[in-house]
Chains A and B, each alone.
Chain A
Amino acid sequence: DGGITQSPKYLFRKEGQNVTLSCEQNLNHDAMYWYRQDPGQGLRLIYYSQIVNDFQKGDIAEGYSVSREKKESFPLTVTSAQKNPTAFYLCASSPGAGGNSPLHFGNGTRLTVT
């Protein structure tokens, strides 16, 4: 079955360490997204990529970085510059061209930084 896989489901890190969250999709979608979810705040866009080797900042990109070297993969690095990194991170994808397609989501990674 096609879908989006995020790993790991839970991640714990010490303050000051960078950490990379994995996102892989086998839906053959061109566009991929990273959202951050905090209680009571809905989803906020961190970065998105519409094609390989290209990506754009979302609303809250500071302290994060991404790469898109392969169509299937869009890893997110949470750097030590992110002031409040503890959150639930959601990766999504959608077909790239035409129409107002829905986003397909992975099951998320819960990051806890202490």
Chain B
Amino acid sequence: GDSVTQMEGPVTLSEEAFLTINCTYTATGYPSLFWYVQYPGEGLQLLLKATKADDKGSNKGFEATYRKETTSFHLEKGSVQVSDSAVYFCALRYNNNDMRFGAGTRLTVKP
């Protein structure tokens, strides 16, 4: 079945470091791909999305490119801040079907 695999955490970085969180997917078709962020005690917030191959989603300095050839959607940010500390989820979805999530990657940014 369709699934998403994320790099295991936790990830600990110093402020202003470069961030990459790897995400690969297995799917029978061409799903849309998403990154969500979860702050402690809260629900998930949409960070960015891409709906077709080679699309780049971006928001708040985060970026991810839909790579069909490598079935990947890696999350990147050039310079992280302490406020970026959270859990990040990669997800996929087909038309009007439920969304499939990775296990989440916890990021801690130290000053």
Contacts and interface: CB of A to CB of B under 8 A. Distances in A.
Tell me, yes or no, whether A binds B. yes
Contact of A100 (B36, B89, B93): B93
A114 interface: no
Nearest to B4: A42
A50 B101 contact: no
B98 A45 contact: yes
Interface residues of A, number: 27
Contact of A43 (B42, B45, B89, B93): B89
Contacts of B103: 40-42
A94 B44 CA distance: 13
Main secondary structure of the interface of B (DSSP, over half): loop
- Chain B interface category by residue count: 20 to 34
Nearest to A105: B43
A56 B93 CA distance: 17
Interface of B: 31-32, 34, 36, 41-46, 49, 51, 89, 93-96, 98-99, 101-104
17 contacts: A4-B43, A33-B98, A42-B101, A58-B98, A92-B43, A97-B96, A98-B96, A99-B51, A100-B93, A102-B49, A102-B93, A104-B46, A105-B36, A105-B43, A105-B44, A106-B43, A108-B42
